[in-house]
């Protein structure tokens, strides 16, 4: 199935209650389970990833299929390694090709026993859960922050605790910081000095928790604002003092002429005339915003050079290749270099007359390209639009409420 999306005829006016943060929800689910909390998490994300993780944690099953939920695969692998019993975890074919060796090797070195059921280094996994010895390990700081967060969250229950040495450049620092701040809220002390994180044996304390709205989801509305000639957009549930690294999106979009006005309800987006002529940015701390910014900069004819994209190739799809392929359909020739840089120098090609944007089972591809409809009188077609359920199930409904027309196109 495809959606044909057309933008509003004139002024874009929207008041949107954004979905809860998926990254916070998933971490709090693990911390809630580790603390044996009697409290239900308020405003928890209704995304596929979170629902899959919640179902697994509340299940009496021993065999789990987490589908395309990468966070669930990593967090559950670590969590189950300390829960006595024999467990298996599998997922989609794409999940079976997303590497997990770094995490499995780390856990096994700390006393876990995890085996590969098919291909070495990849899911599905068989886990023999038991008490973990813990100790001291070294990992590259360039790996996915989800590996690091998975280890940190179970570290207080290791017999020797955990001393983690991060080598080289540390990427996605805000996500590691988010994990530690949440651990602190649940009563666990963490020492982070330079490249060393230390966690002593201790216990989490249960507490009531309400999840804030998702700054990653906000980025698509910032994109709509940047592409619209006139717009008024209010986004509910966002905070300036956020636990989310993607709150930096407000500063990034300021370069594209978007002001963020904070209130008790959330934020109000306003236009100004101070848009940059070229954008150079290191997304090492906000990799999930890169697709949105690549699309909006190209559509605004703003050359860009984005670095810090090391993790994009091992996401739901190879996001660098996907961006190059789909933006080529719209007439933009992007280049990449060394797996971590994506750039556009203004080079064009002939655009397809009736492009269909493929989404590659990746929710962020669908939502990053949907705002293109604002600038195309004929709209834009998005394949497999249901992928947005992974993080923002109400996305298409929210677009409709903002005046977008969305029709099924067979």
CB count within 10 Å of CB 307 equals: 17
Q: What's the number of CA atoms in the CB half-sphere (13 Å) around residue 50?
A: 22
Q: How far is residue 379's CA from residue 205's CA, in Å, rounded to a whole number? A: 51
Phi-psi region of 135 (alpha: psi -120 to 50; beta: other; left: phi over 0): left
Tell how far CA 329 is from the center of its chain: 25
Active site residue 46: no
Of 317, 306, 304, nearest to 284 by C-alpha is 306
> Hey, is 90 helix, strand or coil?
strand
Q: What is the dihedral of CA 249, 254, 256, 258, to 10 degrees?
A: 100
Q: By the 8 A CB rule, do 331 and 348 touch? A: yes
Q: By the 8 A CB rule, do 400 and 10 touch? A: no
Q: How far is residue 247's CA from residue 239's CA, in Å, rounded to a whole number? A: 8
Q: Is the peptide bond before 124 cis (omega within 30 degrees of 0)?
A: yes
Secondary-structure breakdown of the chain: helix, strand, coil percentages, each rounded to the nearest 5: 35, 25, 40
Q: Which of the following is catalytic: 48, 246, 288, 384?
A: 288
β-pairing, 231-236 with 256-262? unpaired
By annotation, the residues acting in catalysis are 288
């Amino acid at each position: 199935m495809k959606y044909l999306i057309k933008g509003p005829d004139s002024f874009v006016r929207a008041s949107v209650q954004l979905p809860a943060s998926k990254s916070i929800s998933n971490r709090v689910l693990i911390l809630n389970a580790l603390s044996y909390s009697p409290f239900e998490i308020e405003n928890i994300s209704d995304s596929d990833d979170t629902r899959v993780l919640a179902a697994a944690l509340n299940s009496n099953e021993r065999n789990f299929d987490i589908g395309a939920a990468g966070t669930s695969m990593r967090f559950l692998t670590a969590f189950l390694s300390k829960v006595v019993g024999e467990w298996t975890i599998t997922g989609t074919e794409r999940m079976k090709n997303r590497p997990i060796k770094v995490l499995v090797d780390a856990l096994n070195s700390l006393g876990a026993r995890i085996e590969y059921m098919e291909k070495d280094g990849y899911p599905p996994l068989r886990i023999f859960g038991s008490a973990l010895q813990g100790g001291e390990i070294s990992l590259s700081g360039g790996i996915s922050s989800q590996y690091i967060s998975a280890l940190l969250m179970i570290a207080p229950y290791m017999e020797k605790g955990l001393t983690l040495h991060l080598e080289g450049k540390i990427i996605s620092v805000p996500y590691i910081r988010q994990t530690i701040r949440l651990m602190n809220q649940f009563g666990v002390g963490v020492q982070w000095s330079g490249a060393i994180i230390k966690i002593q044996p201790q216990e989490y304390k249960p507490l009531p928790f309400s999840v804030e709205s998702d700054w990653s989801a906000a980025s698509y509305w910032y994109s709509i604002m940047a592409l619209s000639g006139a717009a008024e957009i209010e986004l509910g549930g966002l905070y300036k003092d956020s636990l989310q690294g993607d709150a930096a999106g407000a500063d990034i979009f300021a370069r594209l002429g978007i002001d963020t006005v904070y209130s008790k309800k959330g934020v109000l987006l306003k236009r100004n005339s101070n848009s940059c002529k070229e954008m150079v940015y290191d997304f090492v701390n906000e990799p999930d915003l890169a697709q949105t910014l690549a699309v909006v900069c190209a559509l605004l004819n703003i050359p860009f050079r984005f670095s810090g994209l090391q993790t994009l190739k091992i996401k739901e799809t190879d996001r660098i290749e996907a961006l190059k392929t789909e933006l080529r359909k719209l007439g933009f020739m992007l280049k990449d270099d060394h797996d971590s840089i994506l750039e556009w120098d203004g080079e064009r090609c002939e655009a397809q007359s009736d492009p269909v944007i493929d989404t590659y089972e990746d929710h962020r591809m669908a939502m990053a390209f949907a705002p293109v409809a604002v600038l195309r009188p004929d709209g834009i077609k998005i394949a497999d639009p249901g992928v947005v359920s992974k993080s923002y199930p109400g996305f298409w409904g929210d677009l409709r409420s903002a005046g977008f027309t969305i029709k099924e196109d067979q």
